[in-house]
Amino acid sequence: MAAMICIASSGQEITRKKAEILVPRPAMQPVKSLDPLNPDVMAMDTLDTSSPARKIILYSDNTWRYWIDGDVASADTTYTKHWNTNPDAYGLSYDNFPLRSYVWLADSTDRYHFPGSITPTKVSSRYGKRRGRYHRGTDMPMPKGSEVYATFDGKVRVAKYSSGYGNLVVIRHTNGLETFYGHLSQINVKQDQWVEAGQVIGLCGATGRASGSHLHYEVRYLGYAIDPEWMLDMDSQELRQSVLVIRKSMLYPESSYSPESDDEEEAIAEADEADRLEQERLEAERKAARYVTIRSGDTLSTIAKREGTTVSALCKLNNITTKTILRVGRTLRVK
């Protein structure tokens, strides 16, 4: 930086030397090596903000952004309390779950990146309860090896194989949320590592109890899984809101369990597959359906003969019996 004159807030001209006293020297060190997201643009300077963990990086192309110093941010109780490698690190009883919580998702300093790398995002299995089973995440089918991204800045709490989840990464974020990334074919991060939103934390796969390559994505608060689609719009891949309101009524008491303890992930996948096949069957049946209009003199047996079917098949299709009176002009389903 060339010698320059700065204007102090008092309006007085001061020399650069004096300006450097006002802006602490350590804050002026380039941090290019700490910025994996912009490899092509050179970081020129860092500036302090009122928060010790947040810095501002100035780039050679005249852009800037906030940067969180993971070492400083990690000292917060968010990352020191309930910090272990269980999928649910909190062990909070449902009775003690707060009735309502507000979670900042993104402001100018908290960045965000969609977890999946396929556009548009398909969802093969949604969050929720069905057939007595609970699916605590959203399944997004992606080819094996597709990149999986950290949703927000945060610290890796779990990076290991976990029976139900397969290769699992759990990241705790500064906003208190945790995101789970299951069935990974490869884990790219280590436990206790600070990661940034958009950083590749692993590759999609089908490890653990998974029927095909997909990302099992969970969003948890205090150990309880909420529907990721309250937070993410799967079509636009954008955040639905900047503040997430979590009400206790949105959760199940069972939402803190993890697939590790049972076969639920697999059972849910099977239930979803059965539902899908049933939907396909009904759709095919609907497409193949054929109707005739009852004419004068028709009986079930004459219609059955004419249409190449049987009386019992006609009864079943139309939910009638052989004693039902056929009215002329009405339609009868024959296929």
Region near Zn ion per CB under 5 A, out of 39-47, 111-119, 151-159, 209-217: 209-217
Q: Which is nearer to Zn ion, 137 or 154 (CB)?
A: 137
Is residue 113 a contact residue for Zn ion (CB under 5 A)? Answer: no
Q: Which of 92, 89, 125 is nearest to 246 (CA)?
A: 92
Is residue 220 a contact residue for Zn ion (CB under 5 A)? Answer: no
Query: How many binding residues for Zn ion (CB under 5 A)?
Result: 3
* CB 135 to Zn ion: min, Å: 6
Q: Which is nearer to Zn ion, 137 or 202 (CB)?
A: 137
* CB 166 to Zn ion: min, Å: 11
Query: Which long-range contacts link 295-298 to residues 24+ away (Cβ below 8 Å)?
Result: 295/328, 296/328, 298/326, 298/328
Residue type, 208: G
Region near Zn ion per CB under 5 A, out of 34-42, 102-110, 138-146, 289-297: 138-146
For 62, the 3-state DSSP assignment is: coil
CA atoms within 13 A on the CB side of 104: 10
For 249, the 3-state DSSP assignment is: helix
Q: Which is nearer to Zn ion, 137 or 205 (CB)?
A: 137
Is residue 264 a contact residue for Zn ion (CB under 5 A)? Answer: no
Query: Which strand (E) or helix (H) includes residue 301?
Result: helix 300-307
* CB 279 to Zn ion: min, Å: 19
C-alpha 14/C-alpha 72 separation (Å) is 32
Angle at 136 between CA 133 and CA 137, to 5 degrees: 130
Is residue 137 a contact residue for Zn ion (CB under 5 A)? Answer: yes
Q: Which is nearer to Zn ion, 69 or 260 (CB)?
A: 260
Q: Which of 54, 74, 50, 76 is nearest to 65 (CA)?
A: 54
C-alpha 334/C-alpha 332 separation (Å) is 6
Q: Which is nearer to Zn ion, 154 or 228 (CB)?
A: 228
Minimal CB distance residue for Zn ion:
216
Q: Which is nearer to Zn ion, 78 or 124 (CB)?
A: 124
Please name the residue that has the structure tokens 């995440």.
Answer: 137
* CB 183 to Zn ion: min, Å: 8
* CB 42 to Zn ion: min, Å: 41
* CB 258 to Zn ion: min, Å: 11
Q: Which is nearer to Zn ion, 35 or 272 (CB)?
A: 272
C-alpha 258/C-alpha 268 separation (Å) is 13
What dihedral angle (degrees, nearest 10) is formed by the CA atoms of 304, 305, 311, 317? -30
Q: Which of 204, 174, 162, 170 is nearest to 190 (CA)?
A: 170
* CB 269 to Zn ion: min, Å: 7
Please name the residue that has the structure tokens 């719009």.
Answer: 233
Region near Zn ion per CB under 5 A, out of 99-107, 139-147, 156-164, 272-280: 139-147
* CB 265 to Zn ion: min, Å: 5
CB atoms within 10 A of CB 86: 15
C-alpha 300/C-alpha 316 separation (Å) is 12
* CB 125 to Zn ion: min, Å: 6
Is residue 216 a contact residue for Zn ion (CB under 5 A)? Answer: yes
Q: Which is nearer to Zn ion, 137 or 228 (CB)?
A: 137
Helical packing angle, 311-318 and 300-307, nearest 10° = 100
Is residue 139 a contact residue for Zn ion (CB under 5 A)? Answer: yes
Region near Zn ion per CB under 5 A, out of 57-65, 214-222, 231-239, 324-332: 214-222
Q: Which is nearer to Zn ion, 137 or 198 (CB)?
A: 137
Binding site for Zn ion (CB under 5 A): 137, 139, 216
